[in-house]
Amino acid sequence: MNKKNLISSLVLLAFFTQAGISQYIPNDNFHQLNPFSFNPAAAGLRGNVTAFLNYRDQWSGLKGAPETVSFGMHGLVTSAMGLGLNIGQTNIGIFKQFSADMSYSYRISIDERSQSLSFGLNFGFSQNKINHDEVQIDDNSDPTLYSSEILDETLVRTGFGMHYNWEDLNIHLSSPILYGSQEKVFPQTLFGFASYDYLLPGDIWKIQPSALYRYTADKTNQFEMNVLAEWHNRVWVSAGYRTNKSILTGFGISLKGLGIGYAYEINRSELSSVSSGSHQLILFFESSYSVTRKTPLYRSSKQRSSWR
């Protein structure tokens, strides 16, 4: 990579930050299916062991745009305590960021039949790297590349979350980055998410409207609304809108604890002239093992399919 391309990558990275797309918590079109991705209090939410593999190609067609691969798993270790792990890597041009977080959750039953409240903590680190093998410049002392500590170091971060469940209503409040060792790199990030499950007559179709609000300390605000329709707890489709001028679509299928989902994001901003949109794929696995068969976290049996 010549110096011109290096500068272009730096400009691209700065543009992503200004656009409100955090390189540390990428946009996710599957938060309805996987609230653990942004809330540590969701660890063990299903009562058994759940694992997922996620791939996101953001702004496909734009050279150097973010590409994220992540893996996570979580489950209950007692009837009230859950543990989870999230690891992921995001590539932006010549920049690579690897992160890993451990999560702990604790659930309190507010009443015996319908309400529960969960609290969660996460602790992890982020390792930022520049792929020097892809950089070919004559002056190795170039300050653009070699003097930026935040682009090539390891940082720690902590977070907190809450989840409230009342029959078919679910509310999540979280800050997966409540504190970071570099505030400029880890701006405080807040999420608010709410969903409600409607089971239509005949018990065949379930409709789940939801809303997500995201705020970062650099005063970036993002709001999203979605509607998910599920047939027989097996096949689902979704549609939504995000305030960065993105139209969201998705579909998926699940069978015997295995699930796959695909999401396509149409960007209507100025990026639409250089990008064909964003793609995301997720694979789910849910074991049959459960330490809470008699007291599931979801009180209503109609709330979630077998893999969510």
Query: Is the confidence at residue 308, as pLDDT, over 80?
Result: no
Q: Which residues have CB under 8 Å from 173's CB, separation 6+?
A: 39, 161, 162, 190, 191, 192, 193
Output the pLDDT for position 135: 59
Output the pLDDT for position 166: 93
pLDDT digits (tens, 9 = 90+) for 123-133: 999 888 887 66
Q: What is the mean pLDDT of residues 135-159?
A: 63
When pLDDT is cut at 50, 70 and 90, the band that residue 203 belongs to is: confident
Q: Which residues have CB under 8 Å from 265's CB, separation 6+?
A: 27, 29, 242, 246, 247, 248, 249, 277, 278, 279, 280
Output the pLDDT for position 294: 42
pLDDT digits (tens, 9 = 90+) for 47-103: 889 999 999 998 887 777 889 999 999 999 988 999 999 999 998 888 888 999 999
More confident residue, 217 or 263: 263
Which sign, positive or negative, has the C-alpha torsion 70, 276, 209, 26?
positive
- Which domains, from first to last, does the chain contain? 3-290 (2.40.160.40)
Task: State the pairing for strand pair 169-180/81-92.
Answer: unpaired
Output the pLDDT for position 199: 93
How far is Cα 68 from Cα 22, in angstroms, rounded to an integer? 12
pLDDT digits (tens, 9 = 90+) for 148-175: 555 667 888 899 999 999 989 999 999 9
Helix %, strand %, coil % of the chain (to 5): 10, 55, 35
When pLDDT is cut at 50, 70 and 90, the band that residue 140 belongs to is: low
Output the pLDDT for position 116: 92
Query: Is the confidence at residue 273, as pLDDT, over 80?
Result: no
Q: Lowest mean pLDDT: which of 100-114, 234-248, 288-302?
A: 288-302
Task: State the pairing for strand pair 67-76/169-180.
Answer: unpaired
Q: Quote the mean pLDDT of the chain.
A: 81
